């Protein structure tokens, strides 16, 4: 661990934070977590899982009902929004429409008390970083969407805040720019040794690429926390498995009996070694799309209900009597909706979950 300036040893601690509103019910449900400086945290979850609310609560934009948020031992409750020094990048690009690019980036720096010349210097460097040096005197409305978002980024990054919140910052950008910014983010975040960076996204690939610690959120709770490999290989519940898998994981109800995994339509296959120790009864199995194989004969029969072709692979949604499975085929395949297909679910690639969703066995992890 590197030696940091004492002042910057900031740790953001959430204790039993809950928020309930009349309109939306429980938004945040008893969240406790310690965010350490110099690290990047990825919040991943569906659109209504509470990611944005958690960020707004940290920033002070969403008043919390109970619990406390402290930074470096200081209770945030006593600090109004404007004294918290939190930098936020929203998914919608927010810039001051009446200010030029340069003025936009300078504004928070001047508010922070930097001298004019200093602020200009920092702003220019920051604008340069996002590649907008040629547009200093433009108004936001004269820029493209991607450029506007980069202005918003430059504004937030230049502040060197101790807490950086990015709420799906790449959401509204085109593909090329996303790729480029993802790489830049990695560099920028890693250079901010003294800040807590929290990055929210709905997209598993984005979460995995940034290579930071992952917090999976669902219905206002943090349901799993860990490294990308941990979360990916051992999702602690079907909820996490669904959130973290793209293409989606197929989850089917089964029962374990007499050394067999029996699917609801009667199709069965031998139980793998890892699952031998579980008592007979009802379970759910999950399997990733890239682990499912289409079979010539045998296997589970079904009809194709949807085909999605992306650049290098084909996603096939198959309706089987046991439930819907999604299968990913390398390359582009000429399969048609309505055709029948047999799919094989390799036993050694199955996740086993309790009926309440808790993980029993994962194919790559040690299991329980």
Partner 1 sequence: MYKVLKATFITIWSLFVLFPIMWAITTSFKPESAVVNGATFIPFLEFQPSLIGWKAILPGPDSITNLITPTLNSFIVTAGATAISLIFGSLAAYGLSRFTYGWKNYSNADIIFFFVSQRIMPPVVLAIPFFLLLKELKLLDTHLGLILVLTSGLMPIVVWLMVDFFNALPREIDEMAMLEGCNPIQAFFRTILPLSKPGLTVAGMFCVIFGWNDVFFALTLTATKVLTLPVAVIALNGTVTPYWILAASTVFSIIPLVGLAFVIERFLSRGNLGGAVR
337 binds partner 1 (CB under 8 A): no
As to burial, measured by CB atoms within 10 angstroms (0-12 exposed, 13-18 middle, 19+ buried), residue 357 is middle
Q: How far is the CB of 168 from partner 1 (least distance, A)?
A: 14
Q: With CB under 8 A, what is the number of residues at the site for partner 1?
A: 33
97 binds partner 1 (CB under 8 A): yes
Q: Interacting stretch for partner 1, rule CB under 8 A, among 96-104, 290-298, 313-321, 324-332?
A: 96-104
96 binds partner 1 (CB under 8 A): yes
139 binds partner 1 (CB under 8 A): yes
Indicate which single residue of 95, 238, 269, 320 sits in contact with partner 1 (rule: CB under 8 A): 95
Residue 12, beta-bridge partner list: 35, 71
CB atoms within 10 A of CB 3: 5
94 binds partner 1 (CB under 8 A): yes
Cα distance between residue 336 and residue 320, in whole Å: 16
Cα distance between residue 303 and residue 324, in whole Å: 10
169 binds partner 1 (CB under 8 A): no
78 binds partner 1 (CB under 8 A): no
116 binds partner 1 (CB under 8 A): no
Q: Interacting stretch for partner 1, rule CB under 8 A, among 107-115, 237-245, 325-333, 357-365?
A: 107-115
Indicate which single residue of 36, 63, 77, 81 sits in contact with partner 1 (rule: CB under 8 A): 81
87 binds partner 1 (CB under 8 A): yes
Where on the chain is the footprint of partner 1 (CB under 8 A)? 59, 61, 80-88, 90, 92-98, 107-108, 111-112, 139-143, 145, 148, 155, 159, 172
């Amino acid at each position: 661990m590197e030696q940091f300036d004492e002042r910057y040893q900031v740790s953001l601690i959430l204790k039993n934070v809950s928020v309930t509103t009349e309109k939306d019910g429980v938004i945040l449900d008893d969240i406790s977590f310690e965010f350490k400086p110099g690290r990047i945290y990825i919040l991943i979850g569906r659109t209504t899982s509470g990611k944005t609310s958690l960020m707004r609560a940290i920033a002070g934009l969403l008043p919390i009902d109970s619990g406390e948020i402290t930074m470096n031992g200081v209770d945030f409750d006593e600090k109004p929004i404007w004294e918290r020094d939190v930098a936020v990048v929203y998914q919608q690009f927010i810039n001051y429409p009446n200010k030029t690019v340069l003025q936009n980036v300078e504004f928070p720096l001047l508010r922070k008390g930097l001298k004019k010349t200093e602020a200009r210097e920092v702003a220019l460097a920051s604008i340069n970083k996002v590649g907008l040096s040629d547009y200093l005197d433009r108004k936001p409305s004269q820029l493209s969407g991607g450029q506007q978002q980069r202005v918003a980024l430059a504004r937030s990054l230049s502040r060197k805040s101790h807490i950086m919140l990015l709420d799906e910052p790449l959401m509204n950008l085109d593909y090329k720019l996303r790729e480029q910014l993802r790489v830049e983010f990695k560099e920028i975040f890693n250079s901010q040794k003294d800040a807590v960076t929290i990055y929210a996204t709905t997209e598993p690939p984005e979460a995995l690429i940034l290579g930071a610690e992952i917090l999976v959120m669902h219905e206002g709770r943090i349901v799993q926390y860990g490294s990308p490999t941990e979360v990916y290989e051992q999702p602690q519940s079907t909820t996490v498995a669904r959130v973290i898998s793209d293409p989606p994981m197929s989850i089917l109800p089964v029962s374990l009996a007499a050394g067999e995994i029996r699917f609801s339509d009667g199709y069965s296959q031998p139980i793998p070694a890892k699952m031998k120790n579980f008592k007979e009864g009802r379970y759910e199995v999950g399997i990733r799309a890239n682990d499912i194989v289409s079979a010539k004969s045998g296997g589970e029969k079904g009809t194709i209900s949807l085909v999605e072709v992306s650049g290098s692979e084909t996603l096939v949604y198959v309706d089987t009597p046991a439930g819907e499975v999604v299968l990913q085929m390398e390359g582009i395949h000429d399969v048609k909706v309505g055709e029948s297909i047999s799919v094989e679910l390799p036993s050694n690639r199955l996740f086993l979950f309790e009926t309440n969703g808790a993980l029993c066995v994962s194919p790559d992890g040690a299991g329980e």
